[in-house]
Amino acid sequence: MEVIWGRKGDRMIKKWYRVQKLKILSILALAVIFTNAVVFYGNTVKLIYNQQWVISSYEVITQVESIKSILKDTETAQRNYLITADADDLKSYLAANQQTNHNIQILSKLTADKHQKQQWISLLEPKITSRLNILQQEIFLRQNQGLEAVRQQILSDKNKQSSKEIQQLIHNSLEGEQNLLQQGMQQSQASSQKAIVTFFIAAIVDLVLVALLYDLLWRYIRQLQQTELALRQSENRLRAMIDAEPECIKLIAGDGTLLEINAEGLAMMEVESADALIGKPIAAVILPEYRVLFADFHKNICQGNKGTLEFEIVGFKGTRRYIETHAVPLRNESDGTFMHLALMRDITQQKQAEQKIREQGLLLDISTEGILVRNIHNQILFWNQGAERLYGWKAEEVVGKNVLQLLYKDSPQLEDAYLKVMNTGEWRGELDQLTKEGKVIIVESRWILIRDDHGQPKSILSVNTEITQQKQLEAQLLRSQRLESIGTLAGGIVHDLNNILSPILMSVQLLQKKLPDSQSQQILQTLENNVKRGANLLKQVLSFARGIEGKRTIVQIQPLMTEIEQIIAQTFPESIICQIDIPKNLWYVRGDITQLHQVLINLVVNARDAMPSGGILRITAENLVIGEHSAQINIDAKVGSYVAIVVTDTGMGMSSEVQQRIFEPFFTTKEVGKGTGLGLSTALGIIKNHGGFVNVYSQVGRGTQFTVYLPASTFRDTHLLSPELESVTGDG
C-alpha cells in the first residue's frame, strides 16, 4: 500500500512540474509577444515621427523657396514698371507683393511649434517688409518725380544692402533646413532597418517558443490520455469496491436528483438497474411525512455541512424501511457547489427493537415504584419515571453515575445486601436513601441479579418503594402508646405520692404550731416548701398523664405573644435576639390561656437553654388548613383549621435518638439540678388536651424548630366572646 501511495505521489509531482513548466513557457511567450509589441510600437512611432519631420522640412523648404522666387518676381515686375511705366507690370508687381505676404504667413504657421525657426522668421519678415516698402517708394518716385529720381534711389548703397541681407537669410535658412531634412531621412532609414531586424529576431524567438509550447502541449495531451485511461481503470475498480460495500452509497445533485448509487442501494430500492433511478428525484422514494425534513437536511448538506438523519422509505415493490443516513458535502469542481454524498444504513430491525424497548419502558414508567438498573460497577444504566418522582433526579442526570455516591450516605446494610444478591441472586430489605434535596427517605428495596449469556453477573435490577410515612406513623403510634403507658403509670404513682405527701404536710403544719422557736420554724418551713414543691411536681405529672381541665375561653394569640416577648426581653440574656412575627388576622383558639402560656414558656426556655452562647430565637404564627393527605402523615392530626405557632432557635440541635424521647417524663439532657424533664411532657399533655399536636424538626449544630398546632375556634364561638374577655385580649 505504501508503494502504491509512493508511486501516486511521484506521478503527482511529475504532473505538477510539467504543469509549472507549461505555465512558465506560456508566461515567457506572453512576455516576448508583449515586448515585441512594445518594440514594434516604438519603432512605428519613431518612423511616423521621422516621416512627419521630413514632410515638415519639405514644406518649409518649399515655402522659403517660394518666398525667394516671388520676392524676385516682385522686384522684376517693379523694375519693368519703373522703366516702362506699363500698367500690366504694375499689376504683376502688386500681385507678387500680396503673394509674398501670404507665403510669409503660411511659413509662420508651419513653424509655429519651432522656436528657432520662429526667430528666423522674426528676422526675415521685417527685412522683407522694409524691402517691399523701398520698392513701393521707388514706384511712388517714378510716378511723381520721374525715372531719373528713381535711378538715383536704386543706385544708393542702402537698397543694395537690404536686398543682400534678405538673400543671405533665405540662403542660410534653405541650407539649414536641407541639412535637417537630410538628417531626418537618415534617421528614418536607420529606424526602418532597426524595425526590420527586430521583427526578424522576434519572429525567430516566437517560432522557438511556439515549438517548445507545441512539444509541451503534445506531451501534456499524451499524459492526459494516459491519465484518462488510468482514471477509467481506477473508476472501474472504485465502482467494484462501492458495489461490494454492504451499505447503500448515493451521490445526490444539488437539485435533489440521483447521480450515483451502488448495488446495495439498488437492492434497497428494489430495482434491477441504476437507469431506473439515475436522474430521478430522490424524494420520490421517501415517505411524504419525511420529505420536508429530508429537503431541509439536503439543503444543509449542499451548504457545506455534515449531518445525520433518520427517515422512512418505500421500495418499488412496496417494502417500507427505516433508513439512517450519514451525509457529507462533496465539492463539484466545475462550479464550486456541493453535492450530497450519503452512506445509508437499513435500521428497520433496530427501530423495531427500540419500539419494543420503549413499550417495555412505558410499562416500567407506569409503575409508581422506583425501578433502576445498575451494572456490577454500580453505574446506573436505567432509571424509570417512578425513580424520578421518588428521588427527584431526571434520568439524563443520573445515567452513568455511581448509585452508591448518589443515593447512599452511610448504610451498613449495603455490603450485606450486595453479598447476598451476588450469592443467591436476590435480596429484599429496608434501606435509608437520599433524595436530590438531601432528604433521607426509607425504602423497601428488592434486588434481582441479571446474568449475561455466559452466566456471568451483568447488572442488578432494583425495585424501591418508599415507606417513610409508614415508618413515621409506626414510630408515632409506638411513641403515643409508650407515652400513654407512661401516663397511666405516672397517674398511679402521683395518686400514691399524694397520699404520702398529704400526712407529711399536715404534720408539718401541726409542728409549726407546737414548735414556735425560730430554728424549728425555719426547718419546718423548709420542709413545707419542699413538700409543696413535690406536690407541684406531682401536679405537672398528673397534667401530662390525664390532662388537667382548666377554664376554657376564646383566646387570641397575639396578646399572649406580647406577654411572652416581654418576659423574654426582661429575663433572657442580651446575646439572644428575639424575633416575633404574628399576623393581625390570626384566628382565635379555644383553650386555657394559663396552660397555653405555660406551653410557650416551656418552649422558649428550652430554646434559651439550647443557645448558651447566644443566637436567634424566632416565634411566628400562621393560619393553616390541614387536608386529608396532611392528616394521614401525623397520627394526631385531624382535618380542619389550625393556628400553627412555630418556635425556632439556632442552638445546639438534637440527634434523632434524643428527638424520640424528649416528650418522655423525667427525660432531660440538661445537667443535674437544671431540669426536671417534665417541661415538654407537660406541654405535650396540654396541647393534646386542647385537641392539637406538635411536630419537631432538629439538626445537630443547626438548631431546633417546634411547631404547635392548635385547633382554630369556630365562627360561632368567636361571636360569643364576652366584653370582658375582649378587653383583656385587646380585640376592640
Query: Which triple of cell numbers denotes residue 639?
Result: 382535618
Residue 576, pLDDT score: 92
pLDDT for res 302: 92
Q: Does residue 117 carry a pLDDT above 60? A: yes
Expressed in percent and rounded to 5, the helix, strand and coil fractions of the chain are 60, 20, 20
Local structure of residue 335 (DSSP, 8 states): T
Q: What is the 3-state secondary structure (H, E, C) of 77-143?
A: HHHHHHHHCCHHHHHHHHHHHHHHHHHHHHHHHHCCCCHHHHHHHHHHHHHHHHHHHHHHHHHHHHH
Of the segments 267-271, 299-303, 630-634, which one has the largest average pLDDT value? 299-303
What pLDDT is recorded for position 727?
35
Rounded distance, CA 512 to CA 501, Å? 16
Arithmetic mean of pLDDT, 530-554: 65
Please list the residues that pair with 711 across neighbouring strands: 642
Which of 97-101, 201-205, 613-617 bottoms out in mean pLDDT, i.e. has the lowest? 97-101
pLDDT in tens, 617-645: 999 999 999 888 777 777 678 888 999 99
Judged by DSSP in three states, 343 sits in strand
Rounded Cα distance between 722 and 218, Å, is 126
pLDDT band at 326 (very low <50, low <70, confident <90, very high): very high
Average pLDDT over residues 19-34: 70
Which has the higher per-residue pLDDT, 157 or 564?
A: 564
> Which H helix or E strand runs over 619?
strand 615-626
92 or 280, which is more confident: 280
Is the pLDDT assigned to residue 653 strictly greater than 70? yes
Split at pLDDT 50, 70, 90, the class of 224 is confident
Torsions phi, psi of 326, nearest 5?
-115, 115
* Average pLDDT value over all residues in the chain: 78
For 692-720, what is the HEC assignment? CEEEEEEECCCEEEEEEEEEECCHHHHHC
Assessment of whether the complete model's pTM goes beyond 0.75: no
- Mean pLDDT of the 269-275 span: 86
Question: Which pLDDT belongs to residue 9?
Answer: 53
Q: Which of 33-42, 312-321, 478-487 has the lowest mean pLDDT?
A: 478-487
Give the mean pLDDT of 665-681.
Answer: 67
pLDDT digits (tens, 9 = 90+) for 461-499: 899 888 877 777 666 666 666 666 666 666 677 767 777
Residues 426, 446: Cα–Cα separation, whole Å: 7
Radius of gyration of the chain, Cα coordinates, nearest whole angstrom: 65
The predicted structure's pLDDT at residue 732: 30
Joined together, the cell numbers standing for residue 338 give 456541493
Range of lowest pLDDT (54-58, 98-102, 323-327, 514-518): 54-58
Q: What is the mean pLDDT of residues 102-121?
A: 70
Residues with Cβ < 8 Å from 53, sequence gap 6 or more? 180, 184, 188
Higher pLDDT, 55 or 346: 346
pLDDT of 546 reads 55
Please name the amino acid found at residue 566.
Q
Q: How confident is the model at residue 158 (pLDDT cuts 50, 70, 90)?
A: low
Instruction: Say if residue 277's pLDDT is above 80.
Output: yes
Arithmetic mean of pLDDT, 163-187? 70
From the CB of residue 621, how many other CB atoms can be counted at a distance below 10 Å?
A: 22
248, 264 Cβ separation under 8 angstroms:
yes
Residue that wins the pLDDT comparison between 712 and 453: 712
Long-range contacts from 412-418, C-beta under 8 angstroms, 24+ separation: 417/445, 417/447
> Which residue reads 432531660 in cell numbers?
668
Cα-Cα-Cα-Cα dihedral of 7, 9, 14, 16, to 10°? 160
Helix H or strand E encompassing 510: helix 468-514
Q: How far apart are CA 57 and CA 184, in angstroms?
A: 9
For residue 453, is pLDDT > 90? Answer: no
Residue 662 has pLDDT above 70, yes or no: yes
Environment class of 357 (CB within 10 Å of its CB; exposed 0-12, middle 13-18, buried 19+):
exposed
Q: Which of 105, 98, 139 is nearest to 121 (CA)?
A: 105
Work out the average pLDDT over 201-221. 80
Q: What is the DSSP string of 536-599?
A: HHHHHHHHHHH------EEE-HHHHHHHHHHHHHHHS-TTEEEEEE--TTPPPEEE-HHHHHHH
Q: pLDDT tens for residues 71-103?
A: 777 778 777 877 777 777 777 777 777 777 777
Percent of the chain with pLDDT over 70: 77
Helix/strand/coil for 660:
coil
Interatomic CA distance for residues 268 and 253, integer angstroms: 20
For residue 202, give the amino acid letter.
A
CA contacts within 13 A on the Cβ side of 493: 16
**Is pLDDT at 553 greater than 80 in this prediction?**
yes
